């Protein structure tokens, strides 16, 4: 939630600051609500897809298709939408206004980086200092970590001593199963044979 809140505030306020009183057209016109809104939405598309790409440990062609394809689809949509509304009063927002404006591309790059750098720092810290179990498995599998890597196992042993995050009822159920198992081992099986 904090990441989403931070990203939305960064996208909104950075775009407002960047486009405030800046000429984006060759005639000197400043950005209107459509231009700033389209830039904000472009930043959202880029930021979200970059965050999705950062969470993946490896890519398949399908993941490439959907992550980068969704960014491409946004630009195809905005160009098509501008062409469909072409009239004397409307303009093609991407081809006439934002596409030729270097400030649009710089703002998209800057705001996307501002949204994703804190997220990248967080996941880097988490993987190196407080990895989840699947991160450890990925290290062993993909990085060919030696099973006798003392640092990794020291870290895992310290995590094993931590109190479990499983709920109270799950611990009670596990204890009951354990006691039942012991009871079945101790008592001989009683069977009644009937003679016909």
User: In the chain, what are the domain boundaries?
Assistant: 1-132
Q: What is the pTM of this model?
A: 0.66
pLDDT tens figures, 69-107? 999 999 898 888 877 776 555 567 777 777 778 888 899
Residue 156 pLDDT class (50, 70, 90 cuts): low
The 3 state secondary structure assigned to the chain is: CHHHHHHHHHHHHHHHHHHCCCECCCCCCECCHHHHHHHHHHHHHHHHHHHHHHHCCCCCHHHHHHHHHHHHHHHHHHHHHHHHCCCCCCCCHHHHHHCCCHHHHHHHHHHHHHHHHHHHHHHHHHHHHCCCHHHHHHHHHHCCCCCCCHHHHHHHHHHHCCCCCCCHHHHHHHHHHHHHHHHHHHCCCCCCCCCC
- Average pLDDT over every residue of 105-131: 89
pLDDT score, position 108: 92
């Amino acid at each position: 939630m904090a990441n989403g809140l931070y990203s939305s505030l960064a996208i909104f306020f950075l775009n407002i600051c960047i486009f405030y009183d800046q000429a984006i057209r060759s005639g000197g016109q400043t950005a209107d609500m459509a231009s700033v809104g389209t830039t904000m939405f472009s930043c959202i598309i880029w930021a979200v897809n970059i965050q999705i790409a950062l969470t993946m440990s490896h890519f398949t062609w399908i993941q490439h298709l959907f992550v980068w394809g969704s960014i491409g689809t946004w630009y195809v949509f905005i160009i098509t939408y501008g062409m469909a509304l072409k009239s004397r009063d409307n303009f093609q927002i991407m081809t006439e206004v934002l596409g030729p404006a270097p400030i649009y591309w710089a703002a998209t790059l800057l705001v996307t980086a501002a949204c994703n750098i804190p997220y990248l720092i967080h996941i880097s810290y988490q993987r190196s200092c407080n990895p989840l179990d699947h991160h450890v498995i990925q290290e062993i599998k993909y990085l060919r970590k030696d099973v006798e890597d003392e640092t990794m196992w020291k870290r895992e042993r310290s995590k094993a001593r931590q109190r479990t995050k499983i709920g109270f009822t799950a611990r009670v159920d596990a204890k009951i199963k354990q006691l039942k198992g012991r009871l079945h081992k101790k008592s001989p099986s009683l069977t009644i044979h009937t003679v016909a």
